[in-house]
Structure 1
Amino acid sequence: MQLSNSNTAKAERYHRSSNPAALLVLQLRPRQWTKNLLIFAALLFSYQTMNLFSILNTILGFILFCFVSGCVYILNDYADRESDRNHPIKQFRPMASGALNPNVALIFGGALLIASLVISYYLNPLFTLLLAAYFIMNVLYSFKLKHVVIIDIMIIAAGFVLRAIAGGLVIHVPFTPWFLMCTMLLSLFLAIGKRRHELFLLQNDSTTHRKVLDHYSFALLDQLIGIVTAATIISYSLFTFTSGRTIHLMWTIPFVIYGIFRYLYLVHIENKGGAPDRILLEDKHILVTVILYVISVVCILAFLE
């Protein structure tokens, strides 16, 4: 009971201290926006043709993708607001806590979605179709597909592939099939790690877990992680040789291997992996690896191609 009273007091303070504009921004879940940084991959690997126009287009594409993904969160939280009130963490979300009027959030989300699609048309009509497809796919995931075993993690991976394609569409450059394969496999790797972490938490609290976890086991998830880990490293290695860029991109392979091994360490030894976007910012080893990887790619494409 004391915990419940503490949570209630926290929710009341949250309600009083937040204004509607801040709540609407918070409802878009800006902490999740790091996932959309994948849009910049096309710009990174097109370093030699980079200009102010392509940079601005990529930034705008990133913002629009953040808005559209935020609209998915609004719809999801609107539908789950009653059940979220019984969740120890989700009860503090704007709608679940009662701080944000659900109808206001829904109207805001609809207007933001339409505006984002209209603006995206001027970047590339195909980008508009991609955003619409991403929105529809994630709505289906939120209401149905997240409960279907295997399909749930494949939908998550598909979302990252769409992000990678979006980066190419906004600056009108193609991606090699191997890069898209790498993106899909790495996304599967993160999604499986997330499910494993959720299964670990399930051992301590089975009242608020995902229904789909009933169909997973540690043995299955560990086997899937092993398969995807090997496939990711091989696919990225092949990408560095077949991307049409300099063969010196092969020197970035150790960064990819270390990053994956470090993440495996966090998943299996420290029982993390539930929030890949947070790990990117909180784990210094992975953050430094990503920074060094980006610097290496830029230097290789700038001076060795």
Structure 2
Amino acid sequence: MTEAAPLTGAARTREAALDEQRTPLQHAAPPPRKGGLFRGLLRTARPKQWVKNVLVVAAPAAAGRLFSAHVLTQLALVFVLFTACAAAVYLINDARDADADRAHPTKHHRPVATGQVPVPVAYGVGGVLAVLAPAAAAWLTSPFVAALLTAYLGMQLAYCVSLKHVLVVDLVVVTTGFLMRAMIGGLALGIPLSRWFLITTGFGALFMVSAKRYSEAVQMAGKAGATRALLTEYTTGYLRFVWQLAAGVAVLGYCLWALEEGGVPNTSVLPWRQLSMVAFILAVLRYAVFADRGTAGEPEDVVLRDRALAFIGVVWIAMYGLAVANW
């Protein structure tokens, strides 16, 4: 038996890289960040994600019911209550995943993982918010809003515990969370929800969620252990199929919604409701550019930072606003 030749410098480098891939990434928890407990709790509540809760105005806006102080007050209250429920889920999720986050290449900077927010405190604050938000909704709004918030909390906590590890179900749960945001404003104000509104909103959300997963899968290809474990079970081809299918259904649903005749005669100078289909389709096509590139991993960044998409969105809002006002 011949003795193995010593490794050259380049070979040693390659061997070290292979050993690192074979060994799970371990990261020592960094020292707690300055700013105190309150700032840590606020960071854990993910303020950047609160923009999603603006969807609570979707149903009232579609019905043209945004022009009274009572409506705006109710919607502001619903926004705060939904944000509190989402914050409760984030706090409980981070407390539950603290040990795993400490070994994650990016999540080890989270306040609970670093110790800035103690695990019992995260559980306690999350639990208080999870109880108080539906209770306040039952007292200040309606039982339907309280029931929807309770259902949202139950579904999201089940997602944190187990559903995020189930193929397809994870996509459905996240999509349903967006749909609940769009529904709750209508429930708070007693506005009937159109079937086309629900279809467009639901599949539009699925389009963005599956595009996000697709982008994560593309960007993290070959980096096992640095992203969601479930992504290794999806194929990029399957996720591409899902976001393309969802985009098509969302466009079809919106077109049928825009062409649907309402109970009020149309006296507008132009058919703004029907013309808004053009802006909606352009917005979907523009967003699909980022999805196809695999750069739609942060939907809020795509929507807020792309000037062309923002312009199309403003045009769509203007057209739909003119349609609602019957100008």
**TM-score with structure 2 length normalisation?**
0.85
Q: In the alignment, what sits opposite 1:160? A: 178
Does 1:117 pair with 2:141? no
**Distance of 2:229 and 2:41 partners within structure 1:** 29
2:313 is aligned to: 290
Q: Is the 8 A contact 1:43 1:50 kept in 2?
A: no
2:91 pairs with one of 44, 69, 74? 74
For residue 169 of structure 1, what is the amino acid of its counterpart? Answer: L
Q: Among all aligned residue pairs of Structure 1 and Structure 2, give the percentage whose two residues are the same amino acid.
A: 27
Of 125-134 and 50-59, deviating more is 50-59
Structure 1 stretches of at least 4 aligned residues deviating more than 6 Å after TM superposition: none
2: CA distance, partners of 1:275 / 1:214: 19
Counterpart position of 2:103: 86
Q: Does 1:240 align with 2:264?
A: no
Counterpart of 1:180 in structure 2: which amino acid?
L
The 1:109/1:228 distance shift into structure 2, 3 A limit, reads same
Partner of 2:205: 187
CA RMSD of aligned residues (A): 1.9
CA distance in 2, matches of 1:161, 1:49: 20
For 2:66 and 2:112, the matched residues in 1 are separated by: 45
Secondary structure of the 1:268 match is helix
User: Bigger radius of gyration, 1 or 2?
Assistant: 2
Determine if contact 1:48/1:302 at 8 Å carries over to the other structure: no
Residue segments in structure 2 that go unaligned for 5+ positions in a row: 1-26
Partner Cα distance (1:186, 1:127) in 2: 23
User: 8 Å contact 2:81–2:133 — kept in the other structure?
Assistant: yes
Equivalent residues in 2 for 1:7-26 (5 A)? Answer: 11-12=30-31, 15-26=32-43
Question: Comparing 141-150 with 178-187, which one deviates more in the overlay?
Answer: 141-150
TM-score between the two structures when normalised by the length of structure 1: 0.90
Instruction: After TM superposition, give the deviation of residue 8 of structure 1 in Å.
Output: 6.9
Q: Is the CA contact 2:130–2:153 (under 8 Å) kept in the aligned structure 1?
A: no
1:188-238 Cα deviation digits (max 9, x unpaired) = 101111111121123141123323223211222222222222111111000
1:46 pairs with 63, 68, 80, which one?
Answer: 63
Does residue 97 of structure 1 match 2:114? yes
Q: Which residue of 2 aligns with 1:143?
A: 161
Q: Give me the whole-angstrom Cα distance separating, in 1, the residues matched to 2:75 and 2:115.
A: 36
> Runs of 5+ in structure 1 lacking a partner?
1-6
Native 8 Å contact 1:147 1:210 kept in 2: no
Taking the aligned partners of 2:126 and 2:237, their CA distance within structure 1 comes to 40
Secondary structure (helix, strand or coil) at the match of 2:97 reads helix
Which moves more between the two structures, 27-36 or 39-48?
Answer: 39-48
Corresponding letter in the other structure for 1:259: A
- 1:288 maps to a residue whose letter is F
Structure 1 residues 49 and 288: CA distance shift in structure 2, 3 A: closer
In structure 2, how many angstroms separate the alpha carbons of the residues matched to 1:45 and 1:181? Answer: 14
More divergent stretch after superposition (68-77 vs 17-26): 17-26
Q: CA deviation at 1:161?
A: 1.3
